[in-house]
Amino acid sequence: MTHQEPAPTGGAVLPPDAGGEVGTSAARGDSMAGRIAAGILASPKASIAALVCVFLIGAALGAPVLAPQDPYDLTAIDIFDSRLPPMSVGYEGQRYVLGTDTQGRDMLSAMLYGLRTSLSVGLTAGLLALAVGTALGLVAAWAGGRIDALIMRTVDLMLGFPTILVALMILVVFGQGTWKVILALVFVQWAYFARAVRGAALVEIGKDYVEAARCLGLSSGRILFAHLLPNCLPPLIVIGTIQVASAIAAEATLSFLGIGLPITEPSLGLLIANGYQVLLAGLYWMSVYPGLLLLALVFAINVVGDRLREILNPRLVR
Amino acid sequence: MTAFVIRRLLQSIFVLALTSLIVFLGIYAIGDPLEILLSPDASLAERDQVSRSLGLDRPLPWQYLNFVGDALGGDLGRSFVYNRSAVTVIFERLPATLELVLTALVLSLLIGVPLGLWAGVKPRSRTDETIMTASILGFSLPNFWQGMMLIMIFSVTLGWLPSTGRGQTGTLFGVQTSFATHDGLRHLVLPALNLALAQIALVIRLTRTGVQETLPLDFIKYARARGLSESRIVFVHVMKNILIPIVTVLGIEFGSLIAFAVVTETIFAWPGVGKLIIDSINALDRPVVVAYILVIVTMFIIINLLVDLMYSALDPRTRARPA
């Protein structure tokens, strides 16, 4: 195992020559992308969901341009405009389409920035977990024996505990902060990827192309990440999609409980938590709208993920 | 079988030891208990004295062994807030949580299984599509937000059900429970529904998959050939075959319900262990936090152990795996 590439980078990023070597991987990759696109377009439900995903990612990226107000800029916020219901006109004549919060912040702007925070935390955590889990799963399948047993027993152990509980314990023990939330999410999610990759890799290892690569004297690292990995992609894509959704939901839950992200970068979860304080007073818009946005995001990603599962499931391929 | 049980037991003990070490290092060694126990203007001599009396001047390994020794005797310190044994405080709150979790579990079966059967016997129909999309919606709904919406609709707008607290409890079979009084039951509805919703979605999916895997089997064809009615086939023959996996998974999901009870109890101010841990985190009540983590981890280790043992009893193939 001396040729092992460093785990975090090796799993997620393919070397540039990944496809060219065996020849089949590049062609396969193209046909897979085509199959995914065709499969999503074939289902109206999935097409709409994919469109919503693209739209929301665009809104998150464009938040600084799209938002009517910079919610972090205290000079732009007017305390006279606090607690205004949706469609109100503010002190300086500006219109608050989704109302304002208790500090007089424009809800729409706060939500756009919150979406940005939620998405970036969810994507970062999901991709890191994918990298770590993939690397460990491949190593387990390749090495076998004691290393395999050690990694897989750890996976079983992790999967025996609910995500939210482990993340909560980690944050309680090690303190809060954006990176700690991301690390906690990676820590609870890598196991799903590791199990899926190991299963797929064990099937692939028995095939002739791996034997051929071995006979060519290629290093373990090269065989694992350049040849095996591209062929283990289908389950990874499905689980990756669903885990990003689950990371976003988990972060929102942790932030709602007050042990997630710091209040300086309010995510959607924190916005909802703020709205919860005034919900019983009938000021519904501070929690309903951010919640709907969070729901739309998680639901759209899950619908796409569900469709991907149907498209990429080898049992359903005719 | 004996070897398997022993191996799994050792594994469980190892995990518990590891957790206790991490919790100890995280909470006791990195943080400074003196900061919390002493007032900021305490003199150096006072600090020394308290530090010695707590054993904080001893080497870390000694402190850890001492911590483990106390923990094994059920002593995880006194709560700063309640001024009682932390373990006692937790066990007092546990029945309320279990009551909520069990109700949610039953609800998820009563609603989830029929819907899953319905979707499963009509694959790719409009009914199936609708139920399956609803189930994705069910587990996409952020648990905490969904609870807030339940409060907004049923408590604030319609005024049908109370939004917070456990209500009046009565005694049923010698246990204090909300099941015993009308008021208690009314308080139980919203939190239980909130907790159950994601599980309902899961049970629907499991049931549907089970039905679709069972329907093409020979014994179903045989039952059809015998002229049995379709409802008898679905509710007796198919049902028998899918209940085993569902019940097994629910055993595991029981744990996840306890985890999500933290969220539900926070929203509905339900006086269980979940609300206790969040309150304790906010109040920096470390002994309770530590006790909660260790009690819950122990509980999970026991649940997982039981599930594994059950599997290996039912399916000898699972025993063959190397440790």
In a domain, A287, yes or no: yes
What is the band of A48 on the pLDDT scale with cuts at 50, 70, 90? Answer: confident
- Per-residue pLDDT tens digits for A159-218: 878 888 888 888 887 777 888 899 999 998 999 999 889 988 888 888 888 888 888 888
Q: Is A225 helix (H, G, I), strand (E, B) or coil?
A: helix
Higher-confidence residue of A93 and B256: namely B256
Burial pattern B286-306, b for ≥16 Cβ within 10 A else e, equals bbbbbbbbbbbbbebbebbbe
d(CA A90, CA A264) in angstroms, rounded, equals: 24
* Best residue of A111, A115, A279, A316 to probe chain B, by most B CBs closer than 10 Å: A279
- Choose among B11, B148, B296: nearest Cβ to A287: B148
Closest CA relative to residue A312, chosen from A21, A7, A1, A35: A35
* Best residue of B132, B135, B140 to probe chain A, by most A CBs closer than 10 Å: B140
Which residues of chain B have a pLDDT value below 70?
1, 28-40, 54-56, 167-180, 314-323
pLDDT of B2 reads: 78
Closest CA relative to residue B66, chosen from B78, B51, B80, B56: B56
Is the predicted pLDDT of residue A123 greater than 90, yes or no?
Answer: yes
CB contact under 8 A, B262 and A165: yes
Residues in B touching A269 (Cβ below 8 Å): 142, 144
Q: How confident is the model over A117-142, as a mean pLDDT?
A: 92
- Per-residue pLDDT tens digits for A3-39: 433 434 333 333 444 434 444 444 455 677 888 888 8
Q: How confident is the model over A240-260, as a mean pLDDT?
A: 89
Neighbours of A262 (CB within 10 A): 13
Question: What CATH number did the domain enclosing A111 receive?
Answer: 1.10.3720.10
* Best residue of A48, A146, A161, A277 to probe chain B, by most B CBs closer than 10 Å: A161
pLDDT of A9 reads: 37
Q: Token pair of B73, please?
A: 């005797």
What is the band of A227 on the pLDDT scale with cuts at 50, 70, 90? Answer: confident
In angstroms, the separation between the Cα of residue A293 and the nearest Cα of chain B is 11
pLDDT of B33 reads: 61
In a domain, A237, yes or no: yes
Global pTM value: 0.82
pLDDT of A18 reads: 40
Give residue A301's domain range: 55-311
- Per-residue pLDDT tens digits for A257-285: 888 887 777 888 888 888 888 877 777 78
Q: Which residue has the tokens 């919503």?
A: A52
- Per-residue pLDDT tens digits for A131-147: 999 999 999 988 888 98
In a domain, A289, yes or no: yes
In a domain, A172, yes or no: yes
Query: How many domains does the structure of chain A reveal?
Result: 1
The interaxial angle of helices A285-312 and A233-256, nearest 10 deg, is 170
Q: Token pair of B111, please?
A: 């609603």
pLDDT of B318 reads: 60
In a domain, A246, yes or no: yes
Residues B231-238: contacts with CB under 8 Å, at least 24 apart: B234/B117, B234/B121, B235/B117, B238/B117, B238/B210, B238/B211, B238/B214
pLDDT of B172 reads: 64
**What proportions of chain A, in percent to the nearest 5, are helix, strand and coil?**
70, 0, 25
The contacts of residue A9 (CB under 8 Å, 6+ apart) are A131
In angstroms, the separation between the Cα of residue B320 and the nearest Cα of chain A is 13
Higher-confidence residue of A291 and B156: namely A291
In a domain, A243, yes or no: yes
In a domain, A59, yes or no: yes
In a domain, A41, yes or no: no
